[in-house]
Structure 1
Amino acid sequence: MTSSEKPSLDPHPLSPYVAWAGERNREPILELFKERFPKSEGNVLEFASGSGMHIHYFAPNFPYLSFQPSDVNEEVFENIRELTKKTQVKNVQPPIKLDLTQPQTWSALIGQKFDAIFCINIFQVAPISIADGMMNCAVNYLSDRGSLFIYGPFKVDGSYTTPSNEEFDTTLLSYKVPAWGLKDVVDITKAGQKYGLALKEKVDMLSHNFTLIYSLS
């Protein structure tokens, strides 16, 4: 298989499919972050870091920021630590366990504030209920200037924005996994409003995806 060929759908964070998708989307996301991330010292948290591919790609571009990877699945921590060694990136911290559905796991964040929190390609394979925990966690640990960035494919007001997104959703639903399928921006935004986070911007991205940017309302 060449790097341009699309592997079979597999949401496991260490799968060839996730690596392929990550390589395709990382540069457009980085360009957005260069525009929107703080220009001075601060802290950045990634929800659901998976293999760590994104955080290690972004961090060298922001040497004045400290990046904190996290994931519910401790199986990926070795890969994250190995990437840190391999890339010799100095501003990525050791990974921590965060389960957005279990607030007791957020104790690792106590005493910290983050100037940016980001999450990439999670909602198409996670239940919409995770949005509640994500917003609750974010509002507790964002700094006053901080924003939450959520990247991925979404429906908007109950509709598909492109035929390709409808086709992707059909593929996801065909696997009969209850959590799989495109989620609606409206539902994620309702979860944010519950905790005082407002959708400030919906940015069009590569492959008909979006970055949703939430901050304190």
Structure 2
Amino acid sequence: MLVSPMAERNKELILEVLADYVDDTSSAFGLELGSGTGQHIVHFARGLPSVTWQPSEISPVSQQSIRAYIRATKVTNVQEPLTIDVSQPWSQWAGLAQGCCDFIVIINLLHMTESDLEGMFKGIGQLLKTGGICLVYGPFAMNGIILPECNVQLDETLQARNPEWGLRDVEELRQLANTNALWLERMVAMPEYTHCLIFRRRQLSER
């Protein structure tokens, strides 16, 4: 089992935000894009037992870690990890059906992806049910400004590793969401200069 100290620090705080949107009296389906080690998804599964969770990862090593966490924690509401490459069109995301998700969770992925963000948000808009929630967690730029200095350094380090990486601007994400039937409903300040962005899938007739 792989261990991420950062995931250990933030998993409960993210769960607290996510729990605001879960109705414990009815079943739901949640997809995590880029599940990493698996620490988050088994923690969410324990805290939100009414949700059936679907992890996904492109890395075989990470998939092995996710399976190990499922076995170790004995959670019964986490499915086998799917191989999903978010750089591919949503129709190739492991055969997931349109409108199948009540929740989509994306944690510390957007700033370390080379994928077309427009294509990713199109997939999110297609997979979420009307009224469904996409929670995106990580460090972000705000109106072109990155604060504080530690996030500036993180952005520089990421871009040095890959010029297509770097902190995404909340306004850019809001606009991408808006063109894909999503709206930025809430932004929650989190520790270590991060935020949870809550996007909700709207009715197509809504503006």
TM-score class normalised by the smaller sequence = 0.7 to 0.9
Q: Contact conserved, 1:165 with 1:208, CA < 8 A, in 2?
A: yes
Q: Does 1:154 align with 2:137?
A: no
The one-letter code matched in structure 1 to 2:50 is Y
Measured against aligned partners, the alpha-carbon deviations of 1:86-129 in whole angstroms (never above 9, x if no partner) come to 110110001111112212422521266111110000122113x5
Q: Which residue of 2 aligns with 1:6?
A: none
3-state SS, counterpart of residue 163 of structure 2: coil
Distance 1:176-1:67 versus aligned 2 partners, 3 A rule: closer
The one-letter code matched in structure 2 to 1:73 is S
The equivalent position to 2:173 in structure 1, one of 188, 191, 198, is 188
3-state SS, counterpart of residue 7 of structure 2: helix
Q: Which residue of 2 aligns with 1:49?
A: 35
The equivalent position to 2:44 in structure 1, one of 52, 58, 70, is 58
TM-score normalised by structure 2 residue count: 0.88
Instruction: Give, in whole Å, the separation in 2 of the partners of 1:176 and 1:109.
Output: 32
Distance 1:115-1:166 versus aligned 2 partners, 3 A rule: same
Measured against aligned partners, the alpha-carbon deviations of 1:4-59 in whole angstroms (never above 9, x if no partner) come to xxxxxxxxx95x6xx01111111211111122233321111101111111001111
Q: Which runs of 5+ in 2 are unaligned?
A: 203-207
Q: Does 1:137 align with 2:150?
A: no
Instruction: Give, in whole Å, the separation in 2 of the partners of 1:159 and 1:83.
Output: 38
Deviation at 1:209, TM superposition (A): 0.3
CA-based RMSD of the aligned residues comes to: 2.0
Instruction: Give, in whole Å, the separation in 1 of the partners of 2:64 and 2:99.
Output: 24
Q: Contact conserved, 1:38 with 1:115, CA < 8 A, in 2?
A: no
Q: Contact conserved, 2:18 with 2:135, CA < 8 A, in 1?
A: no
Q: Which residue of 2 aligns with 1:202?
A: 187
3-state SS, counterpart of residue 30 of structure 2: strand
Deviation at 1:146, TM superposition (A): 0.7
Q: Which residue of 2 aligns with 1:69?
A: 55
Instruction: Give, in whole Å, the separation in 1 of the partners of 2:121 and 2:158.
Output: 25
TM-score normalised by structure 1 residue count: 0.84
Measured against aligned partners, the alpha-carbon deviations of 1:163-216 in whole angstroms (never above 9, x if no partner) come to 33223223333x342233211112222221221211111111111101111112
- Give the total of aligned pairs: 200
Moved over 4 A (4+): none
Q: Which runs of 5+ in 1 are unaligned?
A: 1-12
